[in-house]
Amino acid sequence: MDELVKATAALVRALTERDGNTSAHSCRTRTLALELGKVCGLSAAELATLGLAAQLHDIGKIGVPDRILLKPGRLDSEELELMRSHPRRGYDILMAVPDPEVAAVADVVLHHHEGFDGMGYPSRLKGEEIPVSSRIVTIVDSYDALAAQRPYKKPKTHERIMHILFEEEGGKYDPFLRTKFAALIEASAHKAGSS
């Protein structure tokens, strides 16, 4: 795994240089994903893949123009389509690293916006067709994105985020993993409103 971290260090650095907010979000997503992965009993190898995939889940945003990535308002349909290309772009970037362990990370990145109900993207996978690590990243990515200040929105409260995860967008998330996440986030340093 040390070799894997070395092989992708430049990508992590590129993401930091590209957009500090995305980089900070990726670090928090990594921490939360590992917390959830441990609670779910993932093996050491699975946790290593999960951690790196969570760190790099938005690497494809390197290819999204600033006018879209940093837009202070809602994206129009064309802009949204370009933003939704970031999982595929991330997959393609990672697959350029000739390493089977990086390929496993790339697969998690590709599917981190799939929905448990089959309404996600890019492949419209459903339920357990989606890799478990991708399902974990989906939940923690959503939580942190909703909790964070962005150019186009204010941060939401923990209570509001949990309502969104369970009610408004409930079909998007694996119900078993969401329940596990709901328990662990209460004591996490990354709970919305924590300092």
pLDDT digits (tens), the chain, 195 positions: 567 677 777 887 887 777 777 778 889 999 999 999 999 999 999 999 999 999 999 999 999 998 998 888 889 999 999 999 999 999 999 999 888 889 999 999 999 999 999 999 999 999 999 999 999 999 999 999 999 887 667 899 999 999 999 998 889 999 999 999 999 999 998 899 754
Q: How many structural domains are present in the chain? A: 1
In a domain, 191, yes or no: no
Query: Do residues 70 and 79 make contact, with C-beta atoms less than 8 angstroms apart?
Result: no
| Helix H or strand E encompassing 6 | helix 2-18
Give dist(CA 189, CA 28) in Å, integer. 10
41 within some domain: yes
CATH assignment at residue 13 = 1.10.3210.10
Q: DSSP readout, 14-41?
A: HHHHH-HHHHHHHHHHHHHHHHHHHHTT
Q: Does residue 190 lie within any of the structural domains?
A: no
Within a domain: 149? yes
Q: Is residue 16 one of the residues assigned to a domain?
A: yes
Closest of 127, 165, 139 to residue 37, by C-alpha: 139
**Residue 50 domain flag:** yes
Q: Which domain holds residue 16?
A: 2-185
Residue 193 lies in a domain: no
Residue 25 within any structural domain of the chain: yes
What is the DSSP secondary structure assignment for residue 1, as one 8-state letter? -
Contact 139, 117 (CB under 8 A): no
pLDDT at 195: 44
pTM score? 0.92
